[in-house]
Each structure stands twice: as C-alpha cells, then as structure tokens.
Amino acid sequence: MAKRDLPEINAGSMADIAFLLLIFFLVTTTMDVDSGISKKLSEKPPPDYDPPKIKEKNIFEVNINRNNELLVEGERMELRNLKEAAIKFIDNGGGLGNSSEDGTPGKPCDYCKGEKSPTSSDHPSKAVISVQSDRLTEYGTYVVVQDELLKAYTELRNRLSKERYGMLYTELEEQYKDNRKNEELKKKVEDIRNAYPQIISDAEPTSAN
C-alpha cells in the first residue's frame, strides 16, 4: 500500500495571530510607574540677581534629618501634625500682603482665619515654606512631607473657594481642566491660587558627616 504524505500545516496565519495577541496585551496591560511629586523647578538666577529680603517670621522652616525625623521651626514634630502647623502659618494673616505695582502698600488678609499673630506670617502671599533635608534622608520620607504641605494648601484653597464660589477648589480646577476656554472658570481658579499661592522652597540638602 502506497505511503500517504501528510499535508503540511501552514503556520503563517498562526504567527500572525500570535503577533496580534502580543500587541493586544502590550496595549492593554497596565505598567507600574514610579510615583513622585509634580513640581516646576525654578530657573537659575543670573549672577547679578539680588534676592528679595524676607522677614524671618515669614519663613516656616521644615527640616528632615538623616534619621528621617521631622523638625519644624527647630522643634520635633510628628508628621501627622505637619499639615495643621503649615495651615496655621500660611493662614495667620498678621500683616499686609505684597505691595502693588504702583508702590502702594499691600492689604491685610480679610479672608484669613488665623490668629493674626505678630510673630507669624504677614500674609499668604508672603508666607514661605522652606524644606531642607539631609543627603541621607529617605526619598519616601521627603515625598510624604511634601505631600502634607501640599494638602495644607489644598485645604485652604478648598475652604476659600467654597466661600466665594460655592464649590471646592479641586472641583473648580477639574472643571477648568475640561474647559480651558472658559474665561470665567479661569478667573476663579486664578483668584484662589493668588489668594493662597503655593510657595514651597527646597533648600540645599545638608551633608552627613
């Protein structure tokens, strides 16, 4: 009996299907990405730049040492208390805001709810938060500290936006992101941002000996 030749299987189409499946999984698979803080770095000032003089009471010093311990204004502080301490400083409203372009004195903060202490910040527009870490500080600790400070600004902005526009600032900002051409939304967002400008300065890390 004659031997039959088995028909050859065409594997070309299978290779195409496998390739398409590979593309599908690459497109639909979620990749883990490193989390971080979205911050815009300031440009390097020119050599002849004369930095503005800042009153000591308008600077809120936050330090993280090499042991990941938090020191605020020279005193030990638990991380859970940092946000409220920052809010108290930013919202103090103990003096006048920044001067106008025509040289007229600034105005007091009529929307601040703070104690108006003469030893704390004059105005949210003058309140500077200075963060300094050690070169051995863990990155995770640094991120958590920055996050607590950002929460302080968000809480203050939400409160003021609720008072002026009947909605949280976070909601207002989301609406503006979806409709950038809306001038009314733009003015409202800028109004809240200008009322509580986010001024966080990162000082040069200290070196461990």
pLDDT for the residue 70: 96
Residues 70-124 pLDDT 10s: 999 999 999 999 999 999 999 999 989 887 665 567 899 999 999 999 999 999 9
Residues 4-22 pLDDT 10s: 555 555 555 666 777 777 7
For residues 55 and 45, the model is more confident at 55
Residues 156-190 pLDDT 10s: 999 999 999 999 999 999 999 988 889 999 999 99
- Compute the average pLDDT of residues 198-205: 90
pLDDT for the residue 27: 72
Q: Which residue is listed with tokens 């499946």?
A: 21
Per-position DSSP letters for 29-96, written without gaps between them:
SPPP-------PPPPPPPTT--PPP--GGGEEEEEE-TT--EEETTEE--GGGHHHHHHHHHT---SB
How does DSSP classify residue 2? P
Residues 117-144 pLDDT 10s: 999 999 999 999 999 999 999 999 999 9
Alpha carbon distance 193, 204 (integer Å): 27
pLDDT for the residue 28: 72
pLDDT for the residue 194: 95
Chain-centroid distance of CA 20 in Å reads 41
pLDDT for the residue 13: 65
Residue 57 pLDDT grade (very low, low, confident, very high; cuts 50, 70, 90): very high
pLDDT for the residue 12: 55
Residues 27-40 pLDDT 10s: 776 655 545 555 55
Contact 118, 94 (CB under 8 A): yes
Alpha carbon distance 128, 52 (integer Å): 12
Question: If you count DSSP H runs as helices and E runs as strands, how many of each does the chain have, helices first?
Answer: 5, 5
Written as six digits, the tokens of 200 are 């966080």
Written as six digits, the tokens of 198 are 């986010």
pLDDT for the residue 153: 97
pLDDT for the residue 156: 97
pLDDT for the residue 6: 56
pLDDT for the residue 14: 66
